[in-house]
């Protein structure tokens, strides 16, 4: 009956793991992820050589580094996508505990690399941004807490998840990293809504968020400067937003041509936060539209597959992961076209950055693991089990 209604594929648990993984994985979403990674390498070839020249590196130094990070991210993604939901939950809980402890210690052991925000942990010849790895772990742990509230006699999981979300957002805001704090809060809010939260609570959370933003505006020069720059009617063409806006305008529908763009010569973050401006200038609206479509496809397909899921934990965790992935892409592209204030957020799998691409691999690996088709049993069996 379940297979007739939901179209799931009955899989014998004795099957070899790779054939079972291939039959149950969302191949279309996986293809979209690999396509994004390929586009990221292509745009890295276009955007990073000028930066490599300015820093005295080999022309394709950053492209090679991105390919290395990307291959590691793909390996992590494939391994994670083969895990069971229970193993995903356990490893996410462990990972969240470790990264949460590092975030607490970051003001004492971290560095800002001259950017005014202590977000990085320097480890010899490379650096790590712990908040990137905190996100997927937090989402899974929060979903686990919320799902526990559905059990008969279960703990007040929604309240615990709210306390945890507030604590994480506060720690991120103190770095300051308001972009990641907003991303975490958004993912939690979506899961809270899907989990059946009363609407007045969500309105209250929105009100508290606005109040926190007003407080940050009045007490953080870093935050106020970005908001003022966003609201200003005049855009300085010599700023990063000015260069990005002009590049997008110059690109038009088909772009100025491969290698002919100028924005990469002026933007220090052309290969990271403003990679979409390079895509728009050299390849035009056509490539930007394809990138947006790939992100949209991953999110929509994942949410569609989760509508067939009966396990509350899988449904909540998968929804949070999919929405966090999608909204990060929206924020990055929104900043580039000046629809949102600058937040210093990368474009998943496309922007350069070791922490970003590896953390995205973990997140998508978890999402692919949770959206795999699996036999779920008859609804009567589930109701009987809950009634015991």
- Among 6-15, 76-85, 188-197, 257-266, whose mean pLDDT is lowest? 6-15
- pLDDT for residue 230: 64
In this predicted model, what pLDDT tens digit does every residue of 253-285 receive, in sequence order? 888 887 777 777 777 777 888 889 889 998 999
Answer whether residue 317 shows pLDDT above 50: yes
- 190 contacts: CB under 8 Å, gap ≥ 6: 319, 320, 323
Helix axes 354-370, 61-81, angle to 10 degrees: 20
DSSP H helices in the chain: 2-6, 17-24, 27-54, 61-81, 85-109, 130-148, 157-173, 178-194, 199-219, 221-231, 240-251, 263-266, 275-306, 312-336, 354-370, 379-387
Within-domain flag for 18: no
Query: Can you read off the two tokens belonging to residue 182?
Result: 């907003």
The pLDDT > 70 percentage for the chain reads: 84
> Which helix or strand (DSSP H or E) is residue 123 part of?
strand 121-123
Q: Are the C-beta atoms of 244 and 263 separated by less than 8 Å?
A: yes
- 1 contacts: CB under 8 Å, gap ≥ 6: 378
- pLDDT for residue 384: 47
Helix axes 199-219, 221-231, angle to 10 degrees: 100
264 C-beta neighbours (distance < 10 Å), count: 24
Angle at 56 between CA 50 and CA 61, to 5 degrees: 65
Coil, helix or strand at residue 260: coil
Answer whether residue 5 shows pLDDT above 60: no
Short-list 277, 199, 189, 213, CA closest to 241: 277
Within-domain flag for 387: no
Query: Can you read off the two tokens belonging to residue 104?
Result: 């607490």
In this predicted model, what pLDDT tens digit does every residue of 82-136 receive, in sequence order? 999 999 999 999 999 999 999 998 888 877 766 666 777 877 667 788 989 999 9
- Among 93-97, 162-166, 191-195, whose mean pLDDT is lowest? 191-195
Within-domain flag for 11: no
Within-domain flag for 21: no
Within-domain flag for 12: no
Residue indicated by tokens 């870093």: 222
Within-domain flag for 1: no
In this predicted model, what pLDDT tens digit does every residue of 195-233 receive, in sequence order? 877 776 767 777 777 777 777 767 766 667 667 666 666
Confidence band of 160 (pLDDT split at 50, 70, 90): very high
Q: Is the dihedral of CA 339, 340, 343, 346 positive or negative?
A: negative
Confidence band of 380 (pLDDT split at 50, 70, 90): very low
Q: Which domain holds residue 334?
A: 26-371
Answer whether residue 388 shows pLDDT above 70: no
Within-domain flag for 3: no
- Among 164-168, 184-188, 377-381, whose mean pLDDT is lowest? 377-381
* Residues pairing with 111 in the sheet: 120
Is 200 buried (19+), middle (13-18) or exposed (0-12) by CB count in 10 A?
exposed
Q: Are the C-beta atoms of 285 and 251 separated by less than 8 Å?
A: yes
Residue indicated by tokens 């292509």: 42
Within-domain flag for 6: no
CA distance linking residue 97 with residue 321, whole number of Å: 18
Average pLDDT, whole number, for the chain? Answer: 83
Is 290 buried (19+), middle (13-18) or exposed (0-12) by CB count in 10 A?
middle
Average pLDDT estimate for 150-166: 85
- List Cα–Cα distances, 242 to 259, 286, 347, in angstroms: 20, 22, 19
Overall number of domains in the chain:
1
Answer whether residue 14 shows pLDDT above 80: no
């Amino acid at each position: 009956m379940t297979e007739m209604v939901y179209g799931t594929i009955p899989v014998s648990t004795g099957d070899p793991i790779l054939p079972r993984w291939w039959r149950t994985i969302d191949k279309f979403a996986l293809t979209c992820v690999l396509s994004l990674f390929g586009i990221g390498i292509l745009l890295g070839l276009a955007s990073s050589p000028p930066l490599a020249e300015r820093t005295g590196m080999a022309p394709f130094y950053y492209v090679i580094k991105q390919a290395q990070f990307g291959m590691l991210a793909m390996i992590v993604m494939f391994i994670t996508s083969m895990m069971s939901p229970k193993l995903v939950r356990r490893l996410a809980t462990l990972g969240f505990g470790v990264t949460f402890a590092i975030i607490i210690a970051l003001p004492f052991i971290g560095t800002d690399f001259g950017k005014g925000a202590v977000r990085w942990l320097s480890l010899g010849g490379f650096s790590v941004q712990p908040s990137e790895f905190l996100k997927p772990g937090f989402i899974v742990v929060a979903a686990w807490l919320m799902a526990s509230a559905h059990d008969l006699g279960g703990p007040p999981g929604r309240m615990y998840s709210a306390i945890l979300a507030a604590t994480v957002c506060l720690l991120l805001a103190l770095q300051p990293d308001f972009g990641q704090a907003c991303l975490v809060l958004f993912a939690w809010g979506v899961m809270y809504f899907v989990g059946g939260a009363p609407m007045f609570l969500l309105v209250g959370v929105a009100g508290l968020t606005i109040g926190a933003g007003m407080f940050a505006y009045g007490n953080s020069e870093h935050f106020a400067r970005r908001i003022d720059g966003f609201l200003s009617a005049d855009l300085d063409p010599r700023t990063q937003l000015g260069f990005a806006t002009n590049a997008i305008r110059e690109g038009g529908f088909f772009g100025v041509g491969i290698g002919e763009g100028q924005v990469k010569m002026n933007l220090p973050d052309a290969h990271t936060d403003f990679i979409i401006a390079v895509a728009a200038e050299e390849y035009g609206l056509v490539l930007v539209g394809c990138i947006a479509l790939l992100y949209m496809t991953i999110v929509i397909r994942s949410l569609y597959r989760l509508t067939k899921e009966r396990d509350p934990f899988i449904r909540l965790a998968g929804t949070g992961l999919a929405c966090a992935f999608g909204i990060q892409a929206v924020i990055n592209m929104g900043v580039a076209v000046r629809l949102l204030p600058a937040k210093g957020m990368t474009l998943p799998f496309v922007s350069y950055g070791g922490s970003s691409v590896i953390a995205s691999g973990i997140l998508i690996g978890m999402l692919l693991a949770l959206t795999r088709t699996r036999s779920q049993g008859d609804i009567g069996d589930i109701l009987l089990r809950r009634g015991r």
